[in-house]
């Protein structure tokens, strides 16, 4: 029904009255807003923030991140400097892109910014911060890290890792020998190897049985990794982000992924808690955590969700570091035959006629260790360390870092900084002959595992898995490209979010070494 003129007149008068009332309110509030603005400006007096690129309304600098944030931020740092402030939605974020400034964050001011910012994905999968990787800094985190590290570094757990590592590498060598001399998708086998090592150590002998067949658990874990790295509006717009995540379906997908993973972890926990379960020959990680769970005399209480959160950490940290690094190393070696020949000669001359490399042999392989360091430099498992959050006001150089500011360390940019590395884009392991730079957290030019309080607790185990597997792959086989393929055809394109791996699977031809073909340097 159409409104008559009298109705329209009444509405216009009403609207005009409302506008007049609203204008009066705004005129009244204007001095208040002006006072608050001046007060904030006065409060910021003397504060020197890091340089920033121009930003857009609402989204700030989010549009500058691109598909490969580590690369985009490295380019921006060349213009704005190694300490740069971005406004990512509503979140002020400082990007650090040099060894010198990383040292200030991870060592000098480690205690000022060693907590984690709240984030929907990590919060959910860590059972609201009950793990080590994503938990906020505090007494709980200190105790859990202490328990986790002491267990990982114990002689008993080291033997368990060694047994699982040798068994999985033997399976890989057997599988490759059967395939030789046909092209082989190395990605699938390397991911299965890393998964088998971590799964056996964490879950025990039940891993790989009926409950875990058909890659169901691997698919569930893969989806969890995707959710950790997916864009969440709540990360950048805390007040309205949750509503946006609900509309886009992100929240529903996150919950589905969490409940699928939780079901697997709960199943493992129930099996280990079953009184009828035979006493295992070797205690796995779940057994250790259950001992803490049952120890009522301890002042540090562990519940079921604590156990599941720690298991999640073990899989996320262990599988990714090992598999991604091995595949990048093999890619670089096949593209650089000089390096391949040199490292194979070292291994084979050291090992002699033995069928395989054994654990104690790896310590003698100095050039292999340089190859691994060079791989970590060019292809760090995490291109940017997991975000930190400033807990108090401190300075990086001349710049003020305010509380609640997020801090990202661009490890990828640091590893390719021409101020520290000659020919930084070249794969040249010999660069480590002239220095003793290592990746254990004391040298800030090379930070694949981070440094300070938040350094990866599984650093030693991850590096050992990489070195041992590579040594056996290079000792037992010569490697060729599929017929008709040239080295320049090998794609080094990357993809990912949380970690960046090869976009195109690495297909190589393994040629079994019969012990007579010992290359010379």
Q: Give me the long-range contacts of 350-359 (CB less than 8 A, separation at least 24).
A: 351/475, 353/515, 355/476, 356/169, 356/170, 356/173, 356/472, 356/475, 356/476, 357/468, 357/471, 357/472, 357/475, 359/162, 359/165, 359/166, 359/468
Q: What angle do CA 251, 255, 258 make, to 5 degrees?
A: 135
Residue with tokens 């959910």: 124
Integer Rg of the chain from CA? 27
Distances in Å between the Cα of 446 and the Cα atoms of 97, 220, 320, 367, 467 are 12, 32, 18, 17, 17
Q: What distance in Å separates the CA atoms of residue 145 and residue 123, rounded to the nearest whole number?
A: 17
Look at residues 393, 83, 389, 60 and name the one whose alpha carbon lies nearest to residue 236: 60
Look at residues 225, 224, 286 and name the one whose alpha carbon lies nearest to residue 261: 224
Binding-site sequence positions for heme: 456
Residue 473 CA, chain-centre distance (Å), reads 25
The answer to whether 286 touches 202, Cβ cutoff 8 Å, is yes
What is the torsional sign of CA 179, 182, 186, 187? Answer: negative
The token duo for 451 is 């440094």
Q: What are phi and psi of 153, to 5 degrees?
A: -90, 0
At 59 the three-state DSSP class reads coil
Q: What distance in Å separates the CA atoms of residue 431 and residue 330, rounded to the nearest whole number?
A: 19
Binding-site sequence positions: 456
At 36 the three-state DSSP class reads helix
Helix ranges, 381-508 (H): 411-415, 459-476
The token duo for 168 is 């999985």
Question: Containing H/E element for 95?
Answer: strand 91-96
């Amino acid at each position: 029904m159409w409104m008559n003129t009298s109705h329209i007149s009444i509405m216009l008068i009403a609207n005009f009255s409302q506008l007049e009332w609203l204008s009066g309110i705004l005129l009244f509030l204007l001095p208040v807003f002006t006072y608050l603005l001046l007060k904030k400006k006065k409060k910021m007096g003397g504060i020197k923030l890091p340089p920033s690129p121009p930003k857009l309304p609402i989204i700030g600098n989010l549009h500058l991140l691109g598909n490969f944030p580590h690369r985009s931020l490295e380019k921006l740092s060349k213009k704005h400097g190694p300490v740069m402030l971005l406004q990512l939605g509503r979140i002020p974020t400082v990007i650090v892109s040099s060894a010198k400034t990383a040292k200030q964050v991870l060592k000098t001011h480690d205690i000022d910014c060693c907590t984690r910012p709240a984030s929907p994905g990590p919060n959910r999968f860590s059972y609201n911060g009950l793990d080590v990787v994503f938990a906020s800094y505090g007494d709980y985190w200190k105790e859990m890290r202490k328990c986790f590290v002491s267990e990982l570094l114990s002689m008993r757990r080291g033997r368990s890792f060694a047994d699982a590592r040798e068994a999985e590498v033997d399976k890989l060598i057997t599988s490759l020998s059967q395939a030789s001399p046909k092209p082989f998708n190395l990605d699938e086998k390397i991911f299965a190897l890393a998964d088998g090592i971590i799964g056996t150590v964490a879950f025990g002998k039940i891993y790989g049985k009926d409950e875990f067949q058909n890659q169901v658990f691997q698919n569930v874990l893969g989806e969890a990794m995707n959710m950790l790295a997916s864009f969440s509006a709540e990360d950048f717009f805390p007040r309205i982000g949750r509503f946006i995540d609900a509309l886009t379906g992100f929240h529903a997908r996150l919950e589905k992924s969490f409940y699928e993973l939780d079901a697997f972890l709960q199943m493992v926990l129930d099996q280990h808690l079953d009184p009828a379960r035979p006493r295992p020959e070797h205690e796995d990680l779940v057994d250790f955590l259950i001992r803490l769970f049952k120890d009522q005399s301890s002042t540090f209480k562990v519940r079921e969700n604590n156990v599941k959160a720690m298991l999640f950490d073990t899989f996320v940290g262990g599988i990714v570091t090992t598999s991604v690094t091995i595949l990048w190393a093999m890619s670089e070696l096949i593209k650089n035959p000089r390096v391949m020949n040199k490292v194979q000669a070292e291994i084979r001359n050291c090992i002699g006629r033995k069928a395989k490399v054994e654990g104690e042999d790896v310590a003698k392989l100095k050039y292999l260790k340089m190859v691994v360091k060079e791989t970590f430099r060019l292809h760090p498992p995490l291109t940017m360390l997991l975000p930190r959050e400033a807990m108090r006001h401190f300075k990086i150089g001349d710049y003020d870092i305010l509380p609640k500011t997020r801090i990202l360390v661009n490890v990828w940019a640091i590893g390719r900084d021409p101020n520290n590395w000659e020919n930084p884009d070249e794969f040249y392991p010999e660069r480590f002959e002239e220095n003793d730079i290592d990746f254990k957290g004391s040298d800030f030019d090379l930070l694949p595992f981070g440094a300070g309080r938040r350094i990866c607790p599984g650093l030693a185990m991850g590096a050992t898995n990489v070195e041992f597997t590579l040594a056996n792959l290079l000792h037992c086989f010569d490697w060729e490209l599929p017929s008709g393929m040239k080295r320049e055809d090998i794609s080094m394109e990357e993809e990912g979010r949380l970690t960046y791996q090869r976009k195109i699977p690495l297909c190589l031809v393994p040629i079994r070494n019969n012990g007579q073909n010992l290359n010379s340097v």
